[in-house]
Amino acid sequence: IENLRVEIPKVEFKEEMVQEEINRLREQHALWEPVDREIKEGDLVVIDYRVEDLESGETSEGETTVIVGQRFLREEIDRALLGKKEGEEVEVESVDLFDAEGKVVGKAKVKISIRAVKEKVLPEVSDDFAKELGLGDTWSSAEEKIRHMVKENLENYKKSLVEENVAKKLIELHEFEVPQTLLRRELGFLVDRRLRELSSFGIDTRYINIQGLAQELLPQAIANIKLRYILDKYAQTKNLQAEEKDLEEEYTKLAQAYGVSPEQIKADVQSRNLEEVIKGDVLRRKALEDIMSKVQVIEVEEKKEKEEKQDENT
């Protein structure tokens, strides 16, 4: 481990990062205001839809809210919505239907009624916006806190880059086949999680290419399993222990992620007999942190910056 070297892009604080964070906060707190005009990319639309299976004649109906042009809908439906207005209807005659494995099993006709069209309105930078963010009574104080937050996030980002590259290096150094049962389970977990994420955006997951999604997530599933094996072995070799304080910290992190109390998380874990799972996660985290403390980290300038400097020199 002591001889391992990993390279990460050299990332330094720049003042424009503060403005980028301010822009992100404005986007996050934007309001959607109704507009009386044709739909364009980036608009939020409220629609009623009716899907008819052209072979069986079966239909399904519903209502959803999506942002046009951000791949929440099938591309052909997105295109059909552009230029239309509230109150109008859109029909797409032929849309592929997929089964659970992602294979095309038929065609459907989709009919959409546009109930509302809204555009994004960003909040103005002001003392009121500072108060809304909970960052003080004046914008100047809020901006300083944002600057401090950006610097802190930058350090965390650099740490995550080291972690990512160390994990990648460990996987590259160890060639072995992963058990197919574990692989199917991990792949199923990743696919389910991605589908839940898409569903949370209002996307009808019945029209997602599951097979394509699984193929996309396969390398990640293999890497996840390999890394767990490697870190388990390292923790065992170094005789690392999951102490009580480590477990309490893990419960606190999980509680923050799920928006509940650490006591609730702990009780739930114990009731489901998942304490060994939590201990395993803690040991792997300690193993990775121990490895990260020993590898040599080299920060390198990104290629684009190097090429720009070479152009300047010539």
| Mean of all residue pLDDT scores within the chain | 88
For position 102, what pLDDT does the model report? 62
Better-scored residue on pLDDT, 301 or 314: 301
Q: What is the pLDDT of residue 109?
A: 87
Name the pLDDT band for 57 (thresholds 50, 70, 90): confident
Q: pLDDT above 90 covers what percent of the chain?
A: 58
Give whole-number Cα distances, 174 to 11, 18, 24, 263, 305, in Å. Answer: 29, 41, 40, 39, 33
Amino acid letter, residue 127: D
Q: What is the pLDDT of residue 100?
A: 55
Find the mean pLDDT for residues 49-70: 85
**pLDDT on residue 281:** 92
pLDDT at 239 over 70: yes
- What does the alpha-carbon distance between residue 170 and residue 232 come to, in Å, rounded to a whole number? 12
Give pLDDT tens digits for 61-86.
Answer: 888 888 988 777 777 888 888 999 99
Give the whole-angstrom CA distance, residue 38 versus residue 83: 5
Tell me what pLDDT residue 23 has.
95
Answer whether 108's CB lies under 8 Å from 100's CB: no
Is residue 282's pLDDT more than 60?
A: yes
According to the model, what pLDDT value does residue 210 have? 83
Where residue 110 falls (left for φ over 0; alpha for ψ -120 to 50; beta otherwise) is: beta
Instruction: State yes or no: pLDDT of 248 exceeds 80.
Output: yes
DSSP codes joined into one string, 194-221: HHHHHHHTT--GGGS-HHHHHHHHHHHH
- Give the domains, in start order, of the chain with CATH numbers: 5-12+143-300 (1.10.3120.10), 31-121 (3.10.50.30)
For the record, the structure tokens of 237 come out as 């070799």
